[in-house]
Amino acid sequence: MENRGAYPPVQATGQPTYGTIGTQTTPSEASFAATGWFARNRANKPQMNSAGAALFVLVSGGMNIAWSCGFDNVQGFPTNTHILICWYIAAIIGAAVSAFISNRVSKKLIYIFSSFLILIGGVFFVALADKYGGIAVARYLNGFAVGLVFVPMIVLIGEEVNSEQRGLGAGILVSGSISLGIYLQIVFASSFSYSTSTSSNSFGTTQLHGIIVIIYAVLAFIMSYFFVVESPVHHLMLNNEHEAIDCLRRLQRPFVITQEAYQRLEEHRRYIEASDPNGDKCIPALVKLCLLRGLVALSFSPAIAAAILWSSTVYAEHFVTWPWMIYGLCLWLGTYIAAFCLDSVGRKLVLLIGTLFSGVLAIVIGAIYNDFVNYFIPSKMGSVLYMLFVLGLSVSFVSSASSAYLTEAFPLHLKPYYIALSFIVEMLVLLIIGACTPDKDSLAAYFITFGVFYLAFFVLSFFCLPETKRVSLQEAQSKFKSILTQ
């Protein structure tokens, strides 16, 4: 074991000096750190592994969101409003609990417990596929697990992932995981939509859902146990500098103490010192992110699924499932495209592009639906269908940008509570939409409202949302304190 008994003092200027300790940066390490994006990505891989160890929990959550939007194909009982929205209720409760325990309980323990919950839920999906009560319990457990893990995951991405890759990490690990789950559930449901379960062939979408969730739970448990590293910020807040520097050592490759580790330690210390325990100044950031996450909730809902069903059926002149799969694929690919742009192009520009395109497309779709005659014209419904595909791509930009902003907008002491509130707003919007039964008469109102909200937020974000790419958490937080961008 290397000697970590002594640490270099900090100069009055706030910059660390680098004395002799167990392991230091060598010339080969310095050249390795400067060889480009792929080398930096490899060096910082432990940061992504730690923060994103529970990404499969979010993937299972995305599958349940799609389940709530009608992609269930259950046999044995009819679905009702309760079983469609119970997952959102549980997710809200989980996020509320997580807000209070994230700074008090080890994040590794939260990750592992969440993995255990979705494992039990997966078993219920397989063993009690045709029982209403069994599926309801499974969805409650999964929703609670996703809400429980969402808050610490956002916190770890913000505090552990290097500022040059924070947007990439948030986009892929959070938005990318949820959209992947949505896409997978759409594929599963579509694959079984033409078949019915019989006594000789009882395997269906519900059992497949449960098996996949069980696999995800095992993977999440293993990754959480071996990869999760506690946030160095958390240890510094407890005045445990030895543990903080050890965490930084484990969050980079090679696993040695380098000058960069000390620089990040000093950056975290300044972040803690600059954090304002008074949350009043950060209310504008909370309002902006709550509005933004509420808009993200509109990107996939029963109304979207109904619009795809109606337009594709009229356009193809018979029932088809491939449009659902393409929309889900666009949601998933869009989050990845946006994620790779967040740290280069910037969060704000990605968000502006997403809100502008989404708003315009939604209003055009709503205008077509507003004329009842268009519902029965194949060419009109074909146009709507392809615009929906582009809409799925553009709203993914908004989702990825919002995840990046969540990791860096809030003050340190109130961060778990504000992240939880933003997530709860998103779940409430989904719950309200899910409680309503969509029909073709309401599609015009839905998409016009969708478009107006997105265009309004385009204007709001242009003046009120800052650009935070590649800046420290301290700088990002200071930019969010004012209502208008400086």
Q: Which two tokens stand for residue 403?
A: 């995840």
pLDDT higher at 380 or 35: 380
Length of the chain equals 486
Q: DSSP letter string over 270-304?
A: HHHHH--S-GGGGHHHHHHHHHHHHHHHTTS-HHH
CA angle 58, 62, 64 (to 5 degrees): 115
Of the candidates 120, 125, 114, 119, the residue with the CA atom closest to the CA atom of residue 188: 125
Does 66 map to a domain?
Answer: yes
Q: What dihedral angle (degrees, nearest 10) is formed by the CA atoms of 152, 155, 160, 161?
A: 110
- State the Cα–Cα distance between residues 328 and 381, nearest whole angstrom: 19
Q: How confident is the model at residue 314 (pLDDT cuts 50, 70, 90)?
A: very high
Look at residue 11 in the predicted model and tell me its pLDDT: 38
The answer to whether residue 353 is domain-embedded is: yes
Query: Could you tell me how many helices (H) and strands (E) the chain has, helices first?
Result: 21, 0
pLDDT at 390 over 60: yes
What is the spatial distance between Cα 402 and Cα 288, in angstroms, rounded to a whole number? Answer: 10
Q: Per residue in 18-40, pLDDT tens?
A: 333 334 443 334 334 445 767 77
**Coil/strand/helix, residue 10:** strand
Residues 68, 3: Cα–Cα separation, whole Å: 53
Mean pLDDT calculated for residue range 203-228: 94
Q: How many domains does one find in the chain?
A: 1
Say if CB 150 and CB 29 are below 8 A apart.
no
Distance CA 172, CA 337 (A): 9
Give the Cα separation of 110 and 148 in Å (integer).
Answer: 7
79: confidence class by pLDDT, cuts 50, 70, 90: confident
Token look-up 């859902």 returns 209
251 domain residue, yes or no: no
Residue 4 lies in a domain: no
- 9-18, 75-84, 439-448: which range is least confident on average? 9-18
Within a domain: 19? no
Average pLDDT over all residues of the chain: 88
Higher pLDDT among residues 16 and 412, named by residue: 412
pLDDT for 158-192, tens place per residue? 999 999 999 999 999 999 999 999 999 999 988 87
Tell me the per-residue pLDDT of 259-294, one tens digit each, with 9 for 90 and over: 888 889 999 999 998 887 666 677 889 999 999 999
Q: What share of the chain has pLDDT > 70, as a percent?
A: 89
* Euclidean distance between CA atoms 199 and 159, whole angstroms: 52
Residue 32 in domain: no
CA 321/CA 78 separation, integer angstroms: 21
At residue 90, the 3 state secondary structure works out as: helix
63 is a domain residue: yes
Query: Do the domain assignments include residue 248?
Result: no
Peptide bond into 438 cis (omega under 30): no
Strand segments (E) across 316-377 = none
The amino acid occupying position 456 is A
Nearest by Cα to 381 from 318, 451, 332, 329: 318
Contact 384, 330 (CB under 8 A): no
Residue carrying structure tokens 């719950």: 431
Residue 332 sits in which domain range?
Answer: 46-229+275-480
Q: How many other C-beta atoms lie within 10 A of the C-beta of residue 4?
A: 15
- What is the pLDDT at residue 21? 37
Q: What is the CATH number of the domain that holds 408?
A: 1.20.1250.20
Within 13 Å of residue 179, how many CA atoms lie on the same side as its CB? 33
Could you tell me if 81 and 89 are in contact, meaning their C-beta atoms sit under 8 angstroms apart?
no
